[in-house]
Structure 1
Amino acid sequence: MVGGTMTKAYFKAIMREIWRSKARFFSILLIIFLGVAFYTGIRATGPDMLQAADAYFAKQKLATNSVQSTLGLTKSDTAVLKRHRSQVTYQAVKYLDVNQLNNNRVVRVAELPSKQQLNQLRVVKGRLPQKADEIVLDMQAQRLQPSLKLGSTYRIVSSKSLNQKFHRRTFKVVGFVNSPRYVENVSRGVTTVGKGTLDYLAYVRPKTLTLKVATRLDVRFKNLAHVTPYSAKYKRLNKQNTAQLKHWLKPQAKRRQQSLQRQARAQLQPLSQQVTALKAQVPATTPALVKLEAQLKAATVKVNAIQKPTYLYTDRSDNPGYTEYHENTQRVVALSTVFPLFFIAIAALICLTTMTRMVEELRLQMGTLKALGYSNTAVGSEFMIYGGLAALIGTGLGVLFGVNFFPQFIAQAYGSMYNLPAISVQYLWTDILVALVIALVCTLGTALVVLRVDLRSLPTQLLQPKAPKAGQTLLLERWQHLWRRLSFNHKITLRNLFRYKQRLLMTVLGIAGCMAMMITGFGLKDSIGDISSKQFNELWHYDAIVTRSGNETKAEQRTISQPKLYRRSLSLKSSQVTVKKVGVAEQTVTLGVPQNPKRLTKFVVLRHRQTHAAYHLTTTGAIIDEKLAKLYDVKVGDMLPIKVTGQTTKHVKVAAIAENYVNHFIYMSPAYYQQVFGKQPIYNANLVQFTKTNEKQENAYANTLLKQTGILNVTLMSTEKKTNFKMFDSMNLVVLIFVISAGALALVVLYNLTNINVSERIRELSTIKVLGFYDGEVTMYIFRENLILTGLGIILGCFLGKWLHAYILQTAETNALMFSPGIHLMSYVYSALLTVAFSLIVMAMMHWKLKRVNMLDALKSVD
């Protein structure tokens, strides 16, 4: 290839060099593979999960909106939507929530429309019902009642009044299904029946229920058919659609009221006629006439008092699990923004060291080629082909592995929480191209940086070996008292460390980077795991929330406090308020006003997160949670705007900011509430503490309470805790991926740097072996240096890991969730032990390699 043309022989020489230094070539390839696999795989996970949800919602025709009314929905309501069928598809649904007395479950029994136009069920086992005596159950039913199987008999046994609303109550189970309305496995939403939350759903044929009106209208706007769910465009169009739906159905409330009044008056007609006829026959003071007139008057008052029904509008975000699924994908997206770049930065660092060593090793060959007349391009092309091949093969394999493994693994980790179908693999070409460019920069770019000096050198300079790095006096040597006490081997180790400063820096940074990623992985596990334990064990000391229709009556108080499970309760005003600010998504906040503020500390701990200093309610301001303060950038003394439905915005002064991890709250004293709202609070809820926790007894307690007039809902904290823990368990699997990947990178980094160190100093090592050092002593000569560098890397990695962990938490947090920012001491210990373990594995490999090296060949002169 004289003058710059590539010959077959020269190409063979390159291939021979790759084969000769296959360990180095493979280590570069492996580093690129790990970096690219991690980058493309994690980057693809969020979009893959969203794509799976998008395809599922589209295939099952998930409704975009739903409408309910306090008096049910009639054919008049569906007629309104029929007029707009160019814009919407709709479906009327009849269902009934029943408290199953035979299996202590709260079940929603819904009639399947003869043609499922919306919210089509996905059959997991069996088939859909075809006969009147057949039923299909939600998959959650089998999880809660394992005895339920295909062919089982299913009986509905509830209160007498509810039983009468069924034409039949005994069915044969013919299938198990999932509904697109409930992508989350555990939660099935709330109800006013039983314990207040639904356990599962059952679907039957039409005309099973005696209901005359529909319970819900499902609507699907056609303008959202090809819009990606969760996107900004979807949210904007959905807001317009909801307003449109409200506008269409607004006159219906008045019409329904008038229709019900007409029906009621028609029923009064016979009584009215009877009064008129009697008036013509008897005097006005006749007792029978007076009694009939009083009945007519009372009935007429009732007819005139018939209120307009309230129409309730909901959208997909109100479906259990729908928004949470998106939040979880966003967490993965947030992690994919920082972690892989950190990974690739370490890969680039190691490639630079490796390519530097390769150029130094082949100085003699470069000098020979230049002396023979080869151009700089021809001489440098060997390194470019070497690095380019490693980059291309590493990228190709990394993309194939990363895109196919990481999204599948992470999606499976979430599989225990959601009942969505398996994800489809997507190749995101922008990310793949970015990964390839980074891989080529890591190899070719670093090769060019290293070559620029040697290619300018004269052949005579290159044909002479580089003089070994000169030793230098260390500052430590001036500390004579200590230096004299060090052994000969320890002195050599310290001198060698500072003699090769680039290697020292690269090793320390490489190990620190891997250590930081492992600490972040373990730290994320701590932060996620601590949420449930801190929130439910340290901050909340109540076991149930009882919601009532107004102030507590004596009958309600007796019902709440009678069961053996009851320990104590706190009466408070509880309502939902919203907080809104430009640039921040609107947040729903629970406003709590305890009737007796001094007793609140027995149920809720309000404290400073770091100092644990206790906060108490005052008459001058409210206590809000830390995440809410962070979102709206408010500090103690600032004003926070809050809005109660149907009222003007009020401004609340922040008296203290308390530790909290799940959802948002604002606590006020009754006096401050009156100051802000200008009225006395209505204490419509109770926080209840139990003497012990037992699922069966808690459910029985909830059932007892819900039979009492005036009690609307009972939320059991054990159910809330179970749901939260399930979510956090799946996140732990995701964290495991980061720890394993960081560990794999640490192993490759240590192997690569140690291998370079040994190759660079093979003559030195051969000399000491010829002088009589044993194999173990030769290995220790290198190992001592490695151990010190690993120790320094671990120390730096601790600081770097703490910073990276804090950054990831800030990025991965959702609006309604705050991670616990602390990292447990054991997480640092585990990360350090793993790093040391990898260092020992590498040294074992090097010991075996050093034993096999021919020391006499290594000592031959290169002059």
Structure 2
Amino acid sequence: MMMTKAYFKAIRREIWRSKARFFSILLIIFLGVAFYTGIRATGPDMLQAATDYFAKQRLATNSVQSTLGLTKADEQVLKNHQDELTYQAVKYLDVNQLNNNRVVRVAELPTTQKLNQLRVVSGRLPRKANEIVLDSQAKTLQPSLKLGSTYRIVSSRALNRKFKRRSFKVVGFVNSPRYVENTSRGVTTVGKGTLDYFAYVRPKTLKMTITTRIDVQFKNLKGVKPYTATYRRLNRANTAKLKRWLKPQAQKRQYRLQQQARRRLAPLTKAVSTLATQVPATTPQLVKLRSQLAQGQAQVAAIKRPTYIYSNRSDNPGYTEYHENTQRVVALSTVFPLFFIAIAALICLTTMTRMVEELRLQMGTLKALGYSNAAVGSEFMIYGGLAALIGTGLGVLFGVNFFPQFIAQAYGSMYNLPAIQVQYIWVDILIALIIALLCTLGTALVVLRVDLRALPAQLLQPKAPKAGKTLWLERWSGLWRRLSFNHKITLRNLFRYKQRLLMTVLGIAGCMAMMITGFGLKDSIGDISTKQFNDLWHYDAIVTRTGTETAAQKRTISQPKLYRTSLALKSAQATIKKDGVAEQTVTLGVPQTPKRLNQFVTLRQRQSHQRYQLGQHGAIIDEKLAKLYHVKVGETLPVKLAGQTAKSVKIAAIAENYVNHFIYLSPSYYRDVFGKTASYNSNYVQFNNDSETQANAYANTLLKQAGIMNVTLMSVEKQTNFKMFDSMNLVVLIFVISAGALALVVLYNLTNINVSERIRELSTIKVLGFYDREVTMYIFRENFILTGLGIILGCFLGNWLHRYILQTAETNALMFSPGIHPLSYVYSALLTLAFSLIVMLMMHRKLKRVNMLDALKSVD
């Protein structure tokens, strides 16, 4: 028999009659789909925002610098390859502002911005020689700077002389695509060693004849998404081309400089030759001139070939870090939403099972009237399908529009990228729809498979109540006798309905696990900076020198009042590469006095906290490096220093570490491995206090000393790390709230089913004289026990899920702290109990309105 209008009317009535159940299924699907599609879209949305921004602002793909600056000849080489690239020459000076204690990069704004186009945040770009635009970060660091205010450059005499004018009117605040990270502006050899912000002035403001940097954009990368393997492959080939094209320029530049120097010496050479023919060789004047000529010739011979330095986008502050943060979100979106949807499917199965049991009589009637199995089952399919379709549609609209925006805003405090544009990833939406339909239609088919085979007569008869059985607890007579009547009833009901027990415990455990994972991620992320900067690193600054420490440098480092003690060491960047693992950059350290290293760096086993000392026959490496390359104590790693072949380094110990990679070797073992004595070019320095003003002044003092290249203040590094991890905490908050919302829906749905299944039983005890509060407690006791069991199971499940997500979300240069704080378990349990109480309050109101006589008259 075909479906009629009356049949569809019956379906509409069933939906209205059981609207609470229909809405609960819809809500579970909505939450699952919103979470899945929203989180899955976040990473791609953030990457797309960066891709669009880099393309719109024409961010350079490569940059070239030289130790002696760049000339028109270098530009001409690139001009010869204009079919392959676009280039832009940049002139800038880094100045240490003595009037505001800031290190500023002042650059000339090209007449036509071919590359690295500035994005105006407020105001406009400079049009006159006396106008300047500042980095938007300048307004944060110096709130007094506003549009129309006067900006003065006040630095050392030598730097001041390199400006044609040093007083400007501020006409705008801008962002540069070179600096997507809000606070970091890179390093410099001026001032404290790190840049605070940049400024742009009109061309010909700087008295410079040579170019500081040439930015390049290769045309074969146009339209290629950054951060992809294709981009990296093409960029490697492009960098190789740049090096090949500019390689002859170093020798040519050296030759030209030597020629210029010889021309300047020509008059002196001529004077010496002329005077030598006129006076004896021992004449003081001739001796003096010959000495000057020898010095000049020595200076000509000392002119070395310039070193060309090639960089790409990954050297821009924040560029790589932004990608790593999006990858963390992508990693979290891989397993978390699927776990979320699995719980939704579990609850849908329970709900559809109850619905089929409730409508047995109707199914029997329809079959007796001649309706086919397909027609009888279609009611459940339409019911579940509608809930799935509406829930999926609403979930996609909410999830895709809310989650990416919220998470991107959480990162907004770290990056100055424009707002993301929402995009619908149809593959994920289709997957979500299929999963939603499987949750409803699939579970309905599973439940219906038995009842649809039954005869109408069987369906018209009420299903026999589940037989009671003797519990194993009853055999423990000593305990059983001490239990009250209510407690005995509670235990019998729990074990009588084993399916409900299992579903409730699993549902609550799943939600509890997700909340624990959310809180655990917050712990793991938050602990990184605290453990790294407080427990493991005990130095306040890293001083980098050009070579071995001189007496003058030693006096400068140890003189200021802030100084407490220091450790000289060799510090160098090395690379490690093995098949199947991406190349890693590590900091290789060789302390001059190995016994003092533990005073500055705690080297210990993460779990037992056993301390390690540098030995003569092996190196100490960080734990993440050992994990990446699957190496253990006693095995070796191939370590390659710049310009040298890779050497095998034996691992003596694996130490706790969370940020970046290190390898520490003793001086003797370094000599054994690399065949030469270490040159101690760095110092770890400890301060007496943590005054930021004194630390900046200390850095300024050091950088005035010849041979000191850079000073890295750990307080700045710590602030940057904390800021990054604070943003991740907001992302974690989403997971906790979403898991909590699901827990609330799950508890409501399961409790509602429990009450619906036992309405005759509850009405009976109410007729027998139980008060409303006692009837509610009759159910609540069971719920409380099931919630407790779910919480216990959820603790183990959450611990596993937390570990799994940590392994997935970690980047190569980062290791999360694997522990979960005890309070996180407490918070998750308290939230779950709170949701249980809220649900029982809602059920209490429902039970008070139950018509006992109608319930007792029903056939069910």
Q: Shorter chain as normaliser: what TM range?
A: over 0.9
1:338 aligns with 2:307: no
User: Which among 474, 477, 483 is matched to residue 477 of structure 1?
Assistant: 474
Match of 1:408 in 2: 405
User: Which among 100, 103, 112 is matched to residue 103 of structure 1?
Assistant: 100
Counterparts of residues 428-827 of structure 1 (less than 5 Å): 428-827=425-824
Match of 1:191 in 2: 188
Q: Which amino acid aligns with 1:253?
A: A
Q: Which amino acid aligns with 2:357?
A: E
User: Which among 143, 149, 155 is matched to residue 158 of structure 1?
Assistant: 155
Q: Match of 2:779, SS?
A: helix
- TM superposition score normalised by structure 1: 0.99
Q: 1:134 to 1:483 in 2, by over 3 A?
A: same
Match of 1:854 in 2: 851
Q: Which amino acid aligns with 1:6?
A: M
1:354 aligns with 2:326: no
Q: CA deviation at 1:8?
A: 1.0
Q: Match of 1:250, SS?
A: helix
* Structure 1: distance between partners of 2:726 and 2:498: 44
Q: Which amino acid aligns with 1:188?
A: R
* Structure 1: distance between partners of 2:356 and 2:85: 68
* Structure 2: distance between partners of 1:81 and 1:713: 32
* Structure 2: distance between partners of 1:22 and 1:38: 24
Match of 1:294 in 2: 291
Deviations 1:535-561 (Å, cap 9, x if unpaired)? 000000110001111111121111111
Q: CA deviation at 1:287?
A: 2.2
Q: Which amino acid aligns with 2:127?
A: Q
Q: Which amino acid aligns with 1:425?
A: V
Match of 1:229 in 2: 226
Match of 1:833 in 2: 830
Residue identity over aligned pairs, in percent, reads 82
User: Which among 294, 303, 316 is matched to residue 313 of structure 2?
Assistant: 316
1:177 aligns with 2:174: yes
Q: Match of 1:651, SS?
A: strand
Deviations 1:819-849 (Å, cap 9, x if unpaired)? 0000000000000000000000000000000
Q: CA deviation at 1:861?
A: 4.1
Q: Which amino acid aligns with 2:80?
A: R
Q: Match of 1:640, SS?
A: strand
| Structure 1 ranges of 4+ moved more than 4 A | none
* Structure 1: distance between partners of 2:430 and 2:457: 42
Deviations 1:777-833 (Å, cap 9, x if unpaired)? 000000000000000000000000000000000000001100000000000000000
* Structure 1: distance between partners of 2:194 and 2:502: 59
Deviations 1:386-439 (Å, cap 9, x if unpaired)? 000000000000000000000000000000000000000010000000000000
Match of 2:258 in 1: 261
Match of 1:48 in 2: 45
User: Which among 46, 70, 74 is matched to residue 73 of structure 1?
Assistant: 70
User: Which among 104, 109, 113 is matched to residue 110 of structure 2?
Assistant: 113
* Structure 1: distance between partners of 2:65 and 2:319: 19
Match of 2:388 in 1: 391
* Structure 2: distance between partners of 1:139 and 1:446: 56
- TM superposition score normalised by structure 2: 0.99
Q: Which amino acid aligns with 1:112?
A: L
Q: List alignment gaps of at least 5 residues for structure 1.
A: none
Q: Match of 2:530, SS?
A: helix
Counterparts of residues 57-68 of structure 1 (less than 5 Å): 57-68=54-65
1:842 aligns with 2:839: yes
Q: CA deviation at 1:502?
A: 0.5
Match of 1:142 in 2: 139
* Structure 2: distance between partners of 1:549 and 1:230: 34
* Structure 2: distance between partners of 1:296 and 1:619: 51
Match of 2:28 in 1: 31
Q: CA deviation at 1:266?
A: 1.4
Q: Which amino acid aligns with 1:715?
A: T
* Structure 2: distance between partners of 1:92 and 1:587: 32
Q: Which amino acid aligns with 2:448?
A: L
Match of 1:304 in 2: 301
User: Which among 239, 244, 254 is matched to residue 241 of structure 2?
Assistant: 244
Q: Which amino acid aligns with 2:551?
A: K
Count of residues in Structure 1 that have an aligned counterpart in Structure 2: 860
Q: Match of 2:630, SS?
A: coil
* Structure 2: distance between partners of 1:359 and 1:93: 74
Q: List alignment gaps of at least 5 residues for structure 2.
A: none
Q: CA deviation at 1:301?
A: 2.0
* Structure 2: distance between partners of 1:606 and 1:458: 74
1:424 aligns with 2:448: no
Q: CA deviation at 1:648?
A: 1.2
Q: CA deviation at 1:529?
A: 0.4
1:202 aligns with 2:199: yes
Match of 2:326 in 1: 329
Return 284-293 or 838-847, whichever deviates more: 284-293
* Structure 1: distance between partners of 2:44 and 2:153: 42
Q: CA deviation at 1:289?
A: 2.0
Q: CA deviation at 1:276?
A: 2.8
* Structure 2: distance between partners of 1:436 and 1:453: 26
Q: CA deviation at 1:491?
A: 0.3
* Structure 2: distance between partners of 1:303 and 1:670: 37
Q: Match of 1:251, SS?
A: helix
* Structure 2: distance between partners of 1:716 and 1:199: 13
1:365 aligns with 2:362: yes
